[in-house]
Amino acid sequence: MSLDTPNASPDPQTGRRAARSGGRAARHAARAAKLSDDMRPIRPGMSGGTYKPMSETDVAKIHEAALTALETIGLADAPPSGVEIMVGAGALLGDDGRLRFPRALVEDMLALACKDVTLRGRHPRHDLDLSGTRVHYGTAGAAVNMVDVMGNDYRDSTLQDLHDAARITDVLDNIHFLQRPMVARDITDNLEMDLNTIYACAAGTTKHIGTSFSDPSHMPDCLEMLYMIAGGEDVFRARPFMSNSNCFVVPPMKFATESCETMEMCIRGGMPVLLLSAGMSGATAPSTTAGAIVQSVAECLAGVVYVNAMAPGHPAIFGTWPFGLDLRTGAMTVGSGEQALLTAGCAQMHAFYGLPGGAAGGASDSKMPDMQAGWEQMCSNVMAGLSGLNMVYEAAGMHASLLGFCHESLILGDDLIGQALRCVRGIEVDDETMALDQMAQVCLGTADAPAPGHYLGTDRTLSHMERDCVYPALGNRMSPKEWAENDRPNLVQNAIARKEAILATRSEARFDAGLDAQLRARFNIHLPA
């Protein structure tokens, strides 16, 4: 039995169909309105952690192996500043140029590390509490192409594409943060690309933003822009709405010299950092799932030492991002079951250390938003959420093994992640939800009312229909007859319509005219005013 009117077309912005008049119309209007936070069936920061692919003994083994790797193998290629910082804290510089980390040093730095990080949005309603096993989904990556769903093709990504992705993210309930998902290939100067990336993202969303920087020498200008947007350096330091996604290591077990220098400048500038280790299983990381996790954990523990030796308690995310590899071809397998296991296993290690953590989940190897993309994106998004991963990066929109980004897929990902979040929420079991009294009423009736024999329309059913169930905005649940009567709506076509509706509306994140003029006077902004 459908509660919607069967012969109405879905609105491209909401995905809901028009309602009949009377009481039913009022119920439809109430459902179409935004629910209060306490009534929403899903929300950012719900706690996962029920899925554990490794036993406690396995987790302890991974930890011990990572400590052994740090103590006996160590990491090469730290910049002179990093060597000074880490040796000053107790790391050992060998004749081979490698830094090695005694266990006691790692444990001391873990004790100093910030455990309760909150990533700030430009608007406080978008703040992300990363404590415990709270789960958040968002974008990420450095795709160089855009998916053209109409032409079944790919093209270079542009600054406008990035700005549009930020604007779309800003209005999607289940995309909780924006980490730059693509590079602006139409800007050839790297400093201008970094500055315009900040501008395009911050002018498009008030959610938390993550980005990387291509050169440490760019940091003074980038920090100046961030301080201007925030309203002053002290304001940004109090509520840093942007974090630095920092590939501080080049697996296996080497520091990335320039990225480390950038990280040091971000820390001094008051910016949270994502300590990102992205080894490729079978190429730059061991081919086994456990081995890839060990190496990634070891590299990120070195990052914990680095950050806390420099600035104890500075907000940093434990970014274990090992990726799968198709050993037959050398292609990435970000949409595989192995990838989902890598991500879930990393989430267990984050919880073991009590550190806020992030990993990749929700990306697809498929080139288009098709059935392959659907199963790949859902598999790792659900497992990441159930494992309690704080930050699920690349959770929507990412295709072609991280080479392509798709606006329509980002919109469809909002629906997909909604279902994943419902799995994260789990099953509440109490006297009300077990519903024995309702069963008796429906089956036996009362002295005043006969037994209806069904639960449709009961007060309990109506009161729980919004707080318990997640209804897709674009996902289609019509019968074949309804579907045919409504001109056979197509999922991707509806996503295109919603994209166009979003981009036709002024973004709430857009800078006021005065600030925008100041930014344009100081920096070469490529987006039109």
Alpha-carbon span 400 to 155, nearest angstrom: 13
Alpha-carbon span 307 to 301, nearest angstrom: 10
CA R_g for the chain: 24
E strands within 199-301?
208-211, 242-246, 273-277
Ordered by where they begin, the domains of the chain are 110-425 (3.20.20.480)
Please give the structure tokens belonging to residue 12: 């491209």
Q: What is the pLDDT of residues 258-271, one digit of tens each?
A: 999 999 999 999 99
Q: Peptide bond before 252: cis, by omega within 30 degrees of 0?
A: yes
Q: Which residues pair with 246 in a beta bridge?
A: 275
Alpha-carbon span 489 to 367, nearest angstrom: 22
Please give the structure tokens belonging to residue 377: 């994106």
Q: What is the pLDDT of residues 426-474, one digit of tens each?
A: 999 999 999 999 999 999 998 888 999 999 988 888 888 888 999 999 9
- The pLDDT assigned to 446 comes to 87
**Buried (b) or exposed (e) across 178-190, using 16+ Cβ within 10 A?**
bbbbbbbbebeee
∠ at Cα 182 (195, 269), nearest 5°?
Answer: 40
Q: What is the pLDDT of residues 406-421, one digit of tens each?
A: 999 999 999 999 999 9
Contacts of residue 47, defined as CB under 8 A and 6 or more positions apart, other chains included, come to 132, 133, 134, 135, 388, 424
First to last CA, the chain: 50
What is the torsion angle, in degrees rounded to the nearest 10, for the CA atoms of residue 139, residue 210, residue 194 and residue 525?
Answer: 80
For residue 495, the one-letter residue type is A
- The pLDDT assigned to 30 comes to 57
- Using DSSP's 3-state secondary structure scheme, residue 304 falls into helix
- The pLDDT assigned to 24 comes to 56
Which residues of the chain fall short of a pLDDT of 70? Answer: 1-34
- Host H or E run for residue 145: strand 145-148
Give me the residue label for tokens 């509490």.
Answer: 129
Q: Which residues pair with 137 in a beta bridge?
A: 392
Inter-residue contact 384 to 347 (CB < 8 Å): yes
- The pLDDT assigned to 463 comes to 83
Which residue blocks in 3-143 are alpha helix, DSSP H? Answer: 23-32, 56-72, 80-89, 103-112
Q: CA distances (Å), 386 to each of 51, 54, 489, in order?
A: 5, 13, 32
Alpha-carbon span 109 to 318, nearest angstrom: 13
